[in-house]
Chains A and B, each alone.
Chain A
């Protein structure tokens, strides 16, 4: 449903305000939806059509139930396409609609300008419909059960992508050719005059050189040559997949990469949209009689409750802090070195760069950089941030620290790789048996082992031969978990095998 005339009028006005504020966004197409359609769209991650899969149904049921119980409602959704599609809930009050329209322009501006979105497919609407019809065709040909089981396996691995892929070229474009030639000449020698030869090129040296060469050669033949973070790509290239399986995995991977930047910029994106709507609403669009409703709604959006960090709130306040500091010139070595709190507070060089700075920030950072760079000790203190821990004695979560470094460390850890474990493929021919070997880069938190074992099962479905993951278990050293035709295996790598009567335990 398109917008009624009254809202159409406001959409045009707000578009103008947004441009005045400096936003540079894709054209936005607004759609009004009732709550059922809204729940469907939300379950489909904002798209009108997705491939058939039960998890969308599960999400839909969950949303419908919590809507029915009044636990939440979705006011608006917007997707990263060009033009942007934004969905508004039809039952919103006019003032809410104005707010969310302004909010949507913030998102659209962010999608268009933030660097992390630069590589995303802006025609994803078509692509999703394409995926849907491809999956449906596979279902028709191979049956729902088979396709679904394989999709489940792929989806359980969808986090195993390289989120920095867009920014880094990990592989050389093409293997340089002809370089091998001198390696094929067996009689390598350093240049030496005849009579010096046996001193300059003694047999031990030559043997050592040979050995090094052989090792390099082995390394080059190794698969993968370097640890591969994009596990899905590796599987696409090397797993023994049938055509339809290849297609499904490719679909899952493409969608995972499409959604990755949104998860990388949750705080920045929501914060930016809130920053935009507060400026537009309070600066231009709000009518006096709407003030209370607006304030009510806005404070609902940015409300904090203990134990929950609201990304809207955190992002919004950080942008405000940045704008304020750059307006006052409160940055740089001189400011950092000033230890007088009074002076720091009253610091004002009147340079007025705030607005310019926030626009720059929204362009070049993602959440990790944003927090790392702009979450200051002053800010954390001012906003009462704390770290909490679980206390098993009384089954309560308790505030455990107000230490700035610790808070920041935790936040950054949560954001690293979206709070997923970092996992690489290191060997595709483990024990020379074509077995797949993954390595979890342990950074202080253990894997959830039962989940890991189930996930290995999924990986085994794709790889077809036994699969392993090496990880650390607290206080027990390195463990190797595996899954193969005989089920689950487990092995402690730091204990010599003789000590373990049953190092290959089949469950």
Chain B
């Protein structure tokens, strides 16, 4: 039955969501959420929603009842004092709101005005899987549920008085029999790939990597909300590039110099080998502090991007993390290429992630 008050409840939840959206920038730079996905519940503190009133400030005394000497403690924090007046405790109150990551991604999309992505390729192709989840009264004997059948028979015999505790033989009849039944679930075929590339040369400090990690987390979250299944591949590079797993990707620290073209070459190879661009939605992200080894390599990168990578991917994003030098790879990209598939952003601190995500994903490609 639907209760009348559910309208009010929904309105309240809507308001809570509004508050979460207002503070989204703060949550995006919060590294505690990392690792959650999909239906995972996350608990987010927001300022309590209440109607302001003229009320007393400090209210740290009251009247109670019980044993005890003067000076004996009776409670920690704020006990509810007085005779039933609510809401007179001091202090800042926080309200814990539980949301799923999916909902959070939804809000992220709304708040950043991220357009829905039009996937290309065979996005409707899905294969089916069967799961045994239910019980039915008819079915093949091979799927008979012994326990349930026994229980039904027992119930019937006890109810009809046929059950004899001395000789407890239970004989199921046709009506007692229970069978396992299955349901068919569609399983989507993975049709989107994220390729993350990161510079792990000596100049990439832990803090820079943390920024990358946060950014990639929110990119994952958003793309996951758009594609039923997502494959993620990771490439690290200094002067040479190699493919690694996620854990290595975020923790590896190398010492060498930086040659960005090495990563682009590897990415290009992976795309060619595994993913046919007409079937796959390809997302490539590259993070570096922009200190590439020299002009020659820059030119090579530009050429590769323009001729090989950009025509095949949905999006190529370059995030430049916290750099000191004057000469930077981002400038090279911005000057060298004019293509709507290419986005670049500067990420100097947690606050910038919000803008970076908007730049990267704001085009809906």
A207–B90 CA distance with the chains assembled, in angstroms: 56
Contacting residues, chain B, for A447 (C-beta < 8 A): 54-57
Task: Map CB proximity to B onto A451-490 as digits: 1 under 8 Å, 0 otherwise.
Answer: 1101101100000000001000000000000000000000
Q: Are A401 and B70 in contact (CB under 8 A)?
A: yes
A-B contact count (CB 8 A): 203
A395 located at the interface, meaning its Cβ lies under 8 Å from any Cβ of chain B in the complex: yes
| Contact A446 B62, CB 8 Å, known A386-B68, A399-B69 | no
Contacting residues, chain B, for A304 (C-beta < 8 A): 64-66
A382–B6 CA distance with the chains assembled, in angstroms: 48
A239 located at the interface, meaning its Cβ lies under 8 Å from any Cβ of chain B in the complex: no
- Of B7, B52, B58, B85, the residue contacting A156 (CB under 8 A) is B52
B79 located at the interface, meaning its Cβ lies under 8 Å from any Cβ of chain A in the complex: yes
Contacting residues, chain A, for B64 (C-beta < 8 A): 304, 306-309, 385-388, 399
Q: Are A58 and B12 in contact (CB under 8 A)?
A: yes
Q: Are A40 and B79 in contact (CB under 8 A)?
A: no
A269–B107 CA distance with the chains assembled, in angstroms: 47
Interface with B: A115-123, A171-179, A407-415, which one?
A407-415
Contacting residues, chain B, for A411 (C-beta < 8 A): 63, 83
**B: contact size bracket:** 35 or more
A400 located at the interface, meaning its Cβ lies under 8 Å from any Cβ of chain B in the complex: yes
- Of A144, A384, A387, the residue contacting B66 (CB under 8 A) is A384
Interface with B: A4-12, A49-57, A496-504, which one?
A49-57
**30 cross-chain CB contacts under 8 A:** A55-B51, A57-B8, A57-B9, A57-B12, A60-B8, A263-B85, A306-B75, A307-B62, A307-B64, A308-B64, A311-B84, A384-B65, A385-B65, A386-B68, A387-B62, A396-B76, A397-B75, A398-B73, A398-B74, A407-B63, A410-B62, A419-B85, A419-B88, A420-B55, A445-B57, A445-B58, A447-B54, A447-B55, A451-B54, A469-B54
A452–B57 CA distance with the chains assembled, in angstroms: 10
Q: A306-B75, A394-B73 are in contact. List 13 more A-B contacts (CB 8 A).
A: A57-B11, A159-B53, A307-B75, A311-B84, A313-B65, A386-B68, A388-B63, A388-B64, A395-B76, A399-B74, A400-B61, A419-B56, A445-B58
The B-contacting residues of A in range 427-453, CB under 8 angstroms, are 440, 445-449, 451-452
Q: Are A448 and B62 in contact (CB under 8 A)?
A: no
**Residue on A nearest B49 in the bound complex, by CB:** A58
The A-contacting residues of B in range 81-113, CB under 8 angstroms, are 81-85, 88
Chain B min CB distance to A242 (Å): 21
- Of B5, B13, B63, B85, the residue contacting A410 (CB under 8 A) is B63
Q: Are B65 and A395 in contact (CB under 8 A)?
A: no
**A: contact size bracket:** 35 or more
Chain A min CB distance to B7 (Å): 6
Where chain B touches its partner, the secondary structure class is loop
Contacting residues, chain B, for A267 (C-beta < 8 A): 83
Contacting residues, chain B, for A44 (C-beta < 8 A): 5
Q: Are A36 and B3 in contact (CB under 8 A)?
A: yes
| Contact A414 B65, CB 8 Å, known A54-B8, A311-B83 | no
The B-contacting residues of A in range 30-61, CB under 8 angstroms, are 36-37, 40, 43-44, 48-49, 52-58, 60-61
A267–B88 CA distance with the chains assembled, in angstroms: 18
Q: Are B63 and A387 in contact (CB under 8 A)?
A: yes
The A-contacting residues of B in range 17-65, CB under 8 angstroms, are 49, 51-65
B80 located at the interface, meaning its Cβ lies under 8 Å from any Cβ of chain A in the complex: yes
A52–B55 CA distance with the chains assembled, in angstroms: 25
Q: Are A423 and B54 in contact (CB under 8 A)?
A: yes
Q: Which of B8, B49, B71, B79 has the most C-beta atoms of chain A within 10 angstroms of its own C-beta?
A: B8
Chain A min CB distance to B277 (Å): 46
A384–B85 CA distance with the chains assembled, in angstroms: 22
Contacting residues, chain A, for B167 (C-beta < 8 A): none
Q: Are A389 and B54 in contact (CB under 8 A)?
A: no
A128 located at the interface, meaning its Cβ lies under 8 Å from any Cβ of chain B in the complex: no
A418 located at the interface, meaning its Cβ lies under 8 Å from any Cβ of chain B in the complex: yes
Chain A min CB distance to B353 (Å): 30
Chain B min CB distance to A74 (Å): 14
**Residue on A nearest B57 in the bound complex, by CB:** A448
Q: Are B65 and A399 in contact (CB under 8 A)?
A: no
Contacting residues, chain A, for B72 (C-beta < 8 A): 398-399
Q: Are B74 and A43 in contact (CB under 8 A)?
A: no
A314 located at the interface, meaning its Cβ lies under 8 Å from any Cβ of chain B in the complex: yes
Q: Are B70 and A402 in contact (CB under 8 A)?
A: yes
B10 located at the interface, meaning its Cβ lies under 8 Å from any Cβ of chain A in the complex: yes
Q: Are A61 and B9 in contact (CB under 8 A)?
A: yes
Q: Are B77 and A421 in contact (CB under 8 A)?
A: no
**Residue on B nearest A459 in the bound complex, by CB:** B54
Contacting residues, chain A, for B184 (C-beta < 8 A): none
Q: Are B73 and A387 in contact (CB under 8 A)?
A: no
**Residue on B nearest A270 in the bound complex, by CB:** B84
Q: Are A56 and B8 in contact (CB under 8 A)?
A: yes
- Of A53, A389, A390, A457, the residue contacting B8 (CB under 8 A) is A53
A306–B65 CA distance with the chains assembled, in angstroms: 6
Contacting residues, chain B, for A169 (C-beta < 8 A): none
Q: Are A156 and B65 in contact (CB under 8 A)?
A: no
Q: Are A445 and B59 in contact (CB under 8 A)?
A: yes
Q: Are B83 and A314 in contact (CB under 8 A)?
A: yes
Q: Are B56 and A448 in contact (CB under 8 A)?
A: yes
Contacting residues, chain A, for B58 (C-beta < 8 A): 445-446
| Contact A57 B63, CB 8 Å, known A397-B74, A398-B71 | no
**Residue on A nearest B56 in the bound complex, by CB:** A445
Chain B min CB distance to A65 (Å): 10
Q: Are A386 and B54 in contact (CB under 8 A)?
A: no
Contacting residues, chain A, for B81 (C-beta < 8 A): 307-309, 388, 414
Chain B min CB distance to A413 (Å): 10
- Of A309, A419, A451, A469, the residue contacting B52 (CB under 8 A) is A451
B67 located at the interface, meaning its Cβ lies under 8 Å from any Cβ of chain A in the complex: yes
**Residue on B nearest A267 in the bound complex, by CB:** B83
Q: Which of B6, B56, B76, B83 has the most C-beta atoms of chain A within 10 angstroms of its own C-beta?
A: B83
Q: Are A309 and B70 in contact (CB under 8 A)?
A: no
Contacting residues, chain B, for A469 (C-beta < 8 A): 54
- Of B51, B77, B83, B84, the residue contacting A152 (CB under 8 A) is B51
**Residue on A nearest B79 in the bound complex, by CB:** A307
Q: Are B12 and A156 in contact (CB under 8 A)?
A: no
B138 located at the interface, meaning its Cβ lies under 8 Å from any Cβ of chain A in the complex: no
| Contact A399 B62, CB 8 Å, known A420-B55, A455-B53 | no
A2 located at the interface, meaning its Cβ lies under 8 Å from any Cβ of chain B in the complex: no
Q: Are B55 and A451 in contact (CB under 8 A)?
A: yes
Q: Are B49 and A386 in contact (CB under 8 A)?
A: no
| Contact A383 B65, CB 8 Å, known A266-B83, A419-B82, A455-B54 | yes
Q: Are B85 and A54 in contact (CB under 8 A)?
A: no
Contacting residues, chain A, for B166 (C-beta < 8 A): none
Contacting residues, chain B, for A383 (C-beta < 8 A): 65
